[in-house]
Chain A
């Protein structure tokens, strides 16, 4: 339960911190931390407008996306507390719940019949497919390392296996998760959330036809997803056995730092060329694969 609540709280300030970091990095003061949510409250009070070409799929997709994200949150543990839902192999359920939400966003985009949205959907589908192995290989590495296949148990055992290499794996894991978050949440260098140019968009163009309440749901799902990945990273780097008060402090510190890193990276680099993206994403899988092989050798499972 604690994990669930903390993620919700983190999602409240996460987008604001990114925005603020980017503003400060560009020499501006920037809006308040809660500005994104103030904008949302405005959207939530508005009705939605639907185009004639859209059907049922388009209308239910935002709710399904939000539901899957909330569903995925149930699997994340905090400290030594077990997650609300936990069973063997739950990280597979976690990944495919998120994928289900994405699937609905994609077919909803196709439902509009717009050529832009079709392009965006095709790009999103390709990049999500490419990033999937990276996540699974990474999780497999941790499963192999600890000998368990559930988030709650893996993270409970991660720091206390007493292996000297654990720090290195935490760092590799954190790095990969940061990059996966950037891709999954359509940030630089793969996507640019700020752009107004439909032809270059990936995620933004898919939700172009949404307005009002539905648009707010999509944004909320996006903010929660950030906090979910932030929470995963936190679980990787902070041992589960520490004092709970300290843990809560550290949890928010990690989330703020994570948001800051995203904001900072986005300020000082340009976006990838579209056809470089597959290569960039596959690199993550290769890094994960190398980590996996090393684990196999270390745990002497490869003779």
Chain B
């Protein structure tokens, strides 16, 4: 069912031809987007623009979690420097997209509460704004003090600057300024020579989500080329995605324990994580699954031997991880550090458009595998794991429960894989894309939904490639979570979200 105001597609389905996407006047577009996003079942997957002719073509992709539809809205703006009425004023979740558009194209938004660039790329629209003269949010008071952390941190983590305004030990406000990892990866996708180059790029958008981003990319290209992957390949991709989820979740549990100095939990989980990622290595030669996901096929089709190894390792990991988490989440000293710390309320989560884990820990059921299924998930029933309290404990527990769920999913996947025809072919790097169309591909990585959007010109060449990592939305959740907390609890809050810096910086 398609309205005359938007075009409806489904996740990973055939792309939408540009002639089919209605172009709305800005007022109508504004009204339509605002009214949709006011309902919790809709959330924005991407809002971006690209230069077309004398102006900018804006594309807004909104997901309907109720029906599994993806709606594409569009409007065109002339490049005349006039500002647009901001969407952020009525739905906060749009703030990051409007800031990104401002950063890339210098389009101004009228009543945007805080129109600052997301990052400082070398080809930014406003050359005069640099990180060095960035005006941080300030509060004027004798009693308050500011603490700046980063961009270089003591641990082996990515660069990012955190500016706290504190009253003693209590945090009143946190401003997160990222962008230090910007590599211009979206532009590289457009200029990349061939499919292999692009596949490699996709795996390196965020190193901890190599499979999830790789899959979003492969799925997008297959959609643009009108290619339906064989069932065996679909299953293999789902197995890889779940293995990634298990590995990272267990690693995060270790890091959470490390942050509160609980050594036993840390070392036990680190050992388990190694077992999981070594299994991925056994399958494809890389612990993070790099090289495993390719458009059109796979260099490492699953073998009976790998499948048996995966089942064997998961059996042991499942049992031991259950023991460890029981131990961790029943230890009073650990609970004292996790419970009621860094709470994100349901209302906050929906208003900032939180996705994935961050949303599910506050009772917002956002799981792309269930609402907009892709690959083999279309034939499976996925029950998103939910928590209600939105604190660090909820985010820890969610990981523990999701690992169990993922182990079950992999068992079912392997069972189905054994019964299906093994038709996984070699990767296809020379796919021909349909001209003049727009494709959307969404996957559920361990962190949350990953959305890739691509636009082709009338020769079937890519003219725009947009990536949205779940971190884009969820960094705001972290900033809200630490308000009125002790500053010494910030690291454990940060770790409980474990958001990506490079996924945000692109």
Contact = CB atoms under 8 A, between A and B. Distances in A.
Given A200-B488, A273-B486, A276-B336, A27 B267 contact: yes
A270 B487 contact: no
A296 interface: no
A254 B336 CA distance: 32
Interface string B142-159: 000111110000110000
B261 A192 contact: yes
A86 B486 CA distance: 45
Nearest to B170: A275
B79 interface: no
Contact of B263 (A22, A115, A116, A200): A22
Contacts of B264: 25-26, 267-268
Contact of A198 (B149, B266, B331, B333): B149
Interface string B379-408: 000000000000000000000000000000
B321 to A, nearest CB: 16
Contacts of A267: 263-264
B490 A199 contact: yes
B267 A271 contact: no
B262 interface: yes
Contacts of A266: 261, 263
Contacts of B487: 119, 199
A25 B266 CA distance: 12
A270 B262 contact: yes
Contact of A25 (B146, B263, B341): B263
Interface residues of A, number: 30
Interface in B274-298: none
Contact of B261 (A26, A27, A118, A270): A270
B261 A199 contact: no
A108 B333 CA distance: 33
A195 interface: yes
B91 to A, nearest CB: 32
Contacts of A45: none
B238 to A, nearest CB: 34
Contacts of B333: 189, 269-272
A270 B337 contact: yes
A197 B493 CA distance: 12
Nearest to A197: B491
Contacts of A276: 336
Interface in A201-230: none
Nearest to A115: B147
Give the residue among A195, A200, A270, A276 with the most B Cβ atoms within 10 A. A270
A273 B337 contact: yes
Contacts of A119: 147, 169, 487
A274 B490 CA distance: 12
A269 B490 contact: no
A206 to B, nearest CB: 14
B257 interface: yes
Contacts of A273: 336-337, 341, 486, 488-489
Interface in B362-377: none
Give the residue among A189, A195, A197, A271 with the most B Cβ atoms within 10 A. A197
Contacts of B336: 270, 272-273, 276
Nearest to B334: A270
B260 interface: yes
B145 A115 contact: yes
Interface in B191-221: none
A274 B267 contact: no
A194 interface: yes
B154 to A, nearest CB: 4
B259 interface: yes
Given A119-B147, A269-B333, A194 B169 contact: no
A228 B337 CA distance: 32
B491 A115 contact: no
A268 B267 CA distance: 11
Nearest to B266: A26
Given A119-B147, A198-B149, A276-B336, A271 B263 contact: no
A103 B161 CA distance: 32
A272 B336 CA distance: 7
A275 B263 contact: no
A29 to B, nearest CB: 13
B327 to A, nearest CB: 10
Interface in B314-366: 331, 333-334, 336-337, 341
Contact of B486 (A116, A189, A274): A274
A196 interface: yes
Contact of A188 (B169, B261, B267, B331): B261
A198 B262 contact: no
A272 B262 CA distance: 11
Contacts of B337: 270-271, 273
Given A270-B336, A273-B489, A26 B169 contact: no
Nearest to B486: A274
A28 interface: yes
A28 B488 contact: no
A271 B260 contact: yes
Contacts of A196: 154-155
Contacts of B490: 199
A277 to B, nearest CB: 10
Contacts of B488: 199-200, 273-274
B187 to A, nearest CB: 35
B447 to A, nearest CB: 21
Contact of A199 (B145, B149, B257): B149
20 contacts: A26-B267, A115-B145, A115-B146, A115-B147, A115-B148, A196-B154, A196-B155, A197-B491, A198-B149, A200-B491, A268-B264, A269-B262, A270-B261, A270-B262, A270-B334, A271-B260, A271-B262, A271-B333, A273-B337, A273-B486
Interface of A: 22, 25-28, 115-116, 118-119, 188-189, 192, 194-200, 266-276
What are the nearest 9 A-B pairs in CB distance?
A: A270-B262, A271-B261, A270-B333, A192-B261, A270-B260, A197-B491, A26-B267, A196-B154, A274-B488
Given A199-B149, A269-B331, 18 more contacts: A26-B266, A27-B267, A115-B148, A188-B261, A195-B259, A197-B259, A198-B154, A200-B491, A269-B333, A270-B257, A270-B260, A270-B333, A271-B260, A271-B261, A271-B333, A272-B333, A273-B488, A274-B489
